[in-house]
Structures are given as C-alpha cells and as structure tokens.
Chain A
C-alpha cells in the first residue's frame, strides 16, 4: 500500500511538472461549456434572406417587413429577375430567396389567392427546413391578420402543451451532459494511454517492471492521479452549468458523482487498453483522438439524437459507452430520477470497465515474461 502511494506521488509530480498540460486540462471543459452555452446553438437566427418581389405593392412590402422584423432573418438584397436567384444562392450569403408573384395583392383580392414561393439552400437541410417553416408561419399569421381573425375564432379544439424538464426550451439541456461525456472519455483515454506508452517508448517501463511493484499496482498508480484530475473536471463542469446556465443537478448529487466516477474509471481503463495495443505514443494518440473524437461527438446522441438515426445505429452505438452515460446523466441531472431508472445503463458501464480491465491485464501480464 505504501509503495503504491509513493508511486502515485511520483505520477503526480510528473503531472504537475508539465504546467501547461495541467492548465489546458482544466481549460478544456470550461471553454467547451461556455462555447455550447453562449456560442453554438441550433436555433435559426440571422439567416440572410433575399427577395424577388415581382409586384412591389403595399401588401408584399408589408409582408417583407414582417418577415425581416421577426428576428430570425436578416434582409438581404432585392433581386430583379429569376436569373439572379442562382447567383444569390450559390455564393455563401443567402440562405433563402422569397419570390412574390406578379400582381400579388390584386390577385389576392380579386381571385382570393396569391402565391409566395420560398427557395432555400438545401445544402444545409436543417437550416432550410427551419427557414421554410418559419416563413410559412409568418405568412399564415399575416394571412389571418388580413382576414381579421374570423376563421381562427371558429376553431373548436385548442391544444396546449407543457414542455417537461426544459420549459424554456434551452439547448444547454442537451449540451451540458454531452460535454461531460465527451470530455471525460477523450481526456481520460488520451492521458492514460499517453502516460503508459511514454514509459514503454522511452524504456522506463522496464525499470518499473523490475521494481517490486506488481502490475496491478503500476496500473493503479497510473490511474489514480488522472482519476482525481478528471473528477475535478466533472465538478468544474457541474458548478459552471449551475451558476452560468442555472442548470442545477435535479436528482441526487451523490448518485451523479458516483456514476461519474464509474464513467471515469471506464474511460481510464479504455485508455489502458489502448496503451496495451499501441507501441508508441503516436499510435496511442492516433487511436484515442482521431479514432474516437468524431464517433463520440456524433454517435453518443448529444448533438444528433440517436432516436433519429437509422435503425442499424441502435446496434452500432450500443458499443459506444458515451451513449449510456448520456442517458444516465440526463436522467439524474435534468429529470431528477433515481437509481431504479438507470440501473441497466450503470450495469452496462460496469461491464465495459470489467472487459477493458480484463483485456489489458491479460496483455500486460504477457509482456512481463
């Protein structure tokens, strides 16, 4: 036990000596939380929209103003002919073009019907659908104002909605759990795999192996410091999300921290596994960063929900530990549910940990001979 403590102390000295890495270690979660909180969002805002107004009468000008003053759109240029549309959309500036047909108000009044055409840049599908939906809503709003609310009053069924867990529809509810999940697995896997392969590459592993330390002690000694650092990271994220976004932990904080510890342990053992299969630091970094970054961002379901993916991804993402932790953290932190709701996911994470440790122990022992 004392040997282990001395070894852990040695590892800590190693870590603290590299001041810059330490700083970045704590900077990354903070920066990401703020990034997701204040910078990145999926809402439609300030999309530039241009107009091809072929009638230019009072009504189309009014409608144009209504669209531009909604806050979702920024007024672009006034186009003069159909030929301009292609040019307008092909540059990067305009997300959509709205076309008012000729004699818009005259047709609306005499024939009772007029057409607005929206052409959106489909190369960003999400933006395109949102822009189309919002413009349609604004137009139909305008339409019912025009009619004078007569038709709306005749509707019998009025639906009301309650948005559970996130009444103000903030994006942070998706992102905070995602950031914890992403950062923990990447940093933990990266750190442990680098520190172990480093010893291997420089030959200092030999020195450790001939010391009276047992393999399990070496691994533990490598894990413990990073375990503590990562745990501090989790706390930083939770405190930030509480104070900056007003997003407190709704369920039991102890349960959440316990689950976070399990997840960190899982990520660290994944790092050890990576280090046993790679010979150099370069390989370890390549696997843990190039190999894991994008899949973790995309398949864990924190930007793009897993429910929306094609069926087969239920299976593909089943082997991604982040997926389960995202569920756990959303349950405990946002819904405030207890352990009975997440025992399955917890068990799966335990299983991942055991398998990763088991595999790396076997590999580690072989190298001893």
Chain B
C-alpha cells in the first residue's frame, strides 16, 4: 500500500512540475465548456428569405406581410428576377426563396387553386426541412384565413378535430444547454484522462525510464494502479469543476444524486484509463499511442449519441456500440443530472461500465511486461 502511495505522489509531482500542463488540465476543460456549451443548438433562429413577387396584388402582399410578421422569417431581399434570387441563394445570402407567380391574386379571387414555388438551400437537410415546414405553416394559416372569409361565419362544427397537446419533460423550454453540458462534460473528462494517462506510460517507455521502474520490486498491478489513480483524481476534479460551472453559469438543474454521478464517473474513468494504458502497452512511441488513441476516441465520441441520436444508428452499429464506454456515461450523465434517475434506472449502463473497468484494467496489467 505504501509503495503505491509513494508512486502516486511521484506521479503528481511529475505532472505538476510541468507548469503548462498543470494549469492546462484544469483551464482547457473549463474554457471549452464555457465557450462550447451555449454555442450548440439545432434550433433555427431565423431564416433569410428572398421574395420574388411577380404578382404584386393585395393578396400577394398580404402573404408577404404575414411572413414578415413571423419572428422566424427575415425578408432579406425582394426582387422580380428569378435569376437574381437564385444568385442570392448561390451566394448564401438567403436560405429560402419564395416565388409568387403572376395571377396569384386573380386565382384566389376567382376561387381557383393556385401554386407557390419555394426553393431552399438544402445542403443542411435538417434546416431546409424545418424552414420549409415553417413556411408551410404560414401558408396554411393564410389558407385558413381565405377559407374563413369565404365561408363567412358558417359554422365549421361539422368537422371533428383531434387536438394535439404536448409537453417536454425534464427540460420544459427545450434548453439546448441542458442537453449539451452533460455530454461535453463526459467528453472532456474522457479526453483529459485518456490522453494524459496513456502518454504518461508511453513516455516512460520512449525515454527509457520505464526500465528503472522494472528493476524495482514494484509489482505490475501496483505500477498500473499508480498510473491510474492520479489521473482518476484529476478527472474527478475536472468533473466537479464542470458541474459547478454548469450550475453557476448555465443554471443546469441537477435533479439526481451527485454521489451516484461521481460513482459512475469514477468507474467510467477507471475503464477509460485502463484502455489508455492497454493501448500504450501496445505502443512504442508517443506518436503511435496518439494516433491509435485518436482513432478510438473520435469514433467513441461520434458514435456515443452525444451529437446525434443513438437510436438513429442502424442495428449493427448499435451492437458494435455495446463496446463503447462513452455511450454509457453519456446516458448516465444526462439521466442523473436532468431526469434524476436512480441506480435502478441506470442499472444496465452501470453494469456495463463495471465490466469495462474490470476488463480493461485486468488486460492492462496482464499485457504490461516487466521484461522489455
């Protein structure tokens, strides 16, 4: 036990001797969290609209003023030439073109169906679909107005209506910060622990100081443990700082038990650090470790369901994802912080992390050879 404590102390001294790193391991996650969390949203603030009104009647103007009145559409350009409008779209100066054809007002006056043409920049398919849906909504309202005017006060009671009401639980206002912060917290803790621990061991190998360790009576498990504990502690401090920032700056609720979150994060970190050490036993240089680690990390993160929904992935990918520890911590973070889930609710994820932690650390101890 004492041996381990000495070794851990040695690691800490070594880490903080590097003034830059000593500060960066706390500063970088905090700064990133402050900058990145509020940035991310799928919510469209406004759609830049270009109107081509070839009709110029009261009806078309009414429609345009309806669009201008919505908080969503900003009419940036109005032109009579299709060419010019397309050019605006091409240059990225508008996202959506609405063309009102000649005879639009006349048709409505006569009561014959008429058409509107919209063109959307669909490189970002999601934004395009959303703005199209909003445009449709405005036009539907416009239609309803015409209908109401025509029918006058004729009762519409004959048509049965199914009313849809909805509520968002755990995040009433759909604040994206609530969604992003637990995820980014997980990624930062992962990145810091993974990179620092892995590099630390490989560095000893690359410089050759590991030989000096190997000739001491320090046992394999003691050595691996001494490489895990310091980074575990650093990771947990980062986590605590991150939670504090979430609470103070972003007002992110913390519904569940904070102890449960720390317990889960500890197990997650052990699993990740074990994996990092395992990879580093396979690597000879820091460069090798870095590229292998980077490869795993970026795939872990992108497949974790932090940026895109887990359910949208095909079945085979979800099966592969069973081997991805980041998936579990991502869910656990969100569930505990926002939904107040209990250990019973997260039992599957929890067990998966425990298995992971046991697996990677045992493998790392086994793979580590005292003989060069």
Contacts and interface: CB of A to CB of B under 8 A. Distances in A.
B294 interface: yes
B263 interface: no
A308 B40 CA distance: 8
A40 B160 contact: no
B1 interface: no
Nearest to A182: B298
B317 A303 contact: no
Interface stretch (A167-175, A205-213, A218-226, A353-361): A167-175
Interface size class of B (residues with CB under 8 A): 35 or more
Chain A: interface size category:
35 or more
Contacts of A40: 302-303, 307-308, 312-313
A16 interface: no
Interface in A107-141: 108-109, 112-129, 132-133, 135-136, 139-140
A324 B129 CA distance: 24
B211 interface: no
B291 A124 contact: no
B123 A120 contact: no
B167 A118 contact: yes
Interface stretch (B3-11, B110-118, B226-234, B358-366): B110-118
B260 interface: no
A56 to B, nearest CB: 16
Main secondary structure of the interface of B (DSSP, over half): helix
- Which of A140, A147, A161 is packed against the most chain B CB atoms within 10 Å? A161
Given A35-B302, A159-B139, A160-B118, A305 B127 contact: yes
Contacts of A162: 117-120
A146 interface: yes
Contacts of A147: 159-160
A282 interface: yes
A286 B24 contact: yes
Contacts of A287: 24
A135 B167 CA distance: 13
A365 interface: no
B200 to A, nearest CB: 8
Given A32-B298, A108-B162, A283-B21, A289 B195 contact: yes
Interface string A262-306: 000000000000000011111101110111011101110001110
Given A36-B302, A162-B119, 13 more contacts: A31-B295, A46-B312, A115-B165, A124-B179, A159-B115, A159-B116, A174-B123, A198-B287, A282-B203, A285-B199, A285-B286, A286-B196, A294-B188
Interface of B: 18, 20-21, 24-25, 28, 32, 35-36, 38-45, 89-92, 95, 107-108, 111-129, 132-133, 135-136, 139-140, 142-143, 146-147, 157-172, 174-176, 178-179, 184, 187-188, 191-192, 195-196, 199-200, 203, 283, 285-288, 290-292, 294-295, 297-299, 302-303, 307-309, 311-314, 317, 331, 334-335, 338-342, 345-346, 348-349
